[in-house]
Amino acid sequence: METEYYDGIWDSIVGRTDRKQVERDIVDVLKRIQIFDGLSNRELRNFARISYQRIYAENETIVIEGQDSAGMYVILDGTVKVTRKVEDGTTITLKTLENGTFFGDVGLLDNAPRTATVTAIRSSRIIGFFRPELLTLIESDPKLASKVIFVLAKVLASRLRFTNQELQKAQFENDRLRNLTQKTDKQSGDQN
């Protein structure tokens, strides 16, 4: 039976033979992803079984900024861009992601609005993991689910530390420029 991809919706892949090959493909990618680090092949297969796969066409939107989060996505094959609207209404590209990278991982933990839009730059095969399936996994295999949630927490903590460092650098630079401006203004005032 040929693998079917349903356009416009997420749906599981049909066909036993195809599903086994798809599971192997997904497991191979998951092995390289930080969130799934340290999981056995059996555990990775359990995650592959709760994943959904979809092919996005070039320029097709995957995630929309402001939309409620529902889960995370892994790029099996393809390239996507992450964009965000800024105050003046323009859209800026924050990042480009390729094979083996993931996005939307916070969506596994809460349904807060998405902070960016993600669009396929070229045809992209993407798998999704969604909160309802994770909650079911927590009930059926709490040890496995807790491993992934723990690693996800470590990833988020690492991002928070990086963001805090960048914020401190920006605050330092802002203070330096303010002091420089005040010094310049004072010198200009003393000359008058």
Q: What is the pLDDT of residues 100-138, one digit of tens each?
A: 888 998 888 888 899 999 999 999 999 998 888 888 888
CB atoms within 10 A of CB 72: 22
pLDDT tens-place string over residues 163-192 = 899 889 989 898 888 888 887 777 776 665
Among residues 84, 78, 48, which one has the least CA distance to residue 60? 78
Range 47-76 average pLDDT: 91
- CA–CA distance, 192 with 187 (Å, rounded to integer): 9
List of domains in the chain: 16-141 (2.60.120.10)
What is the structure's pLDDT at 22?
Answer: 76
User: Is pLDDT above 60 for 7?
Assistant: no
CB under 8 Å to 108, separation ≥6 — which residues? 71, 72, 129, 130, 131, 134, 149, 152
Q: What are phi and psi of 84, to 5 degrees?
A: -150, 140
Range 69-79 average pLDDT: 91
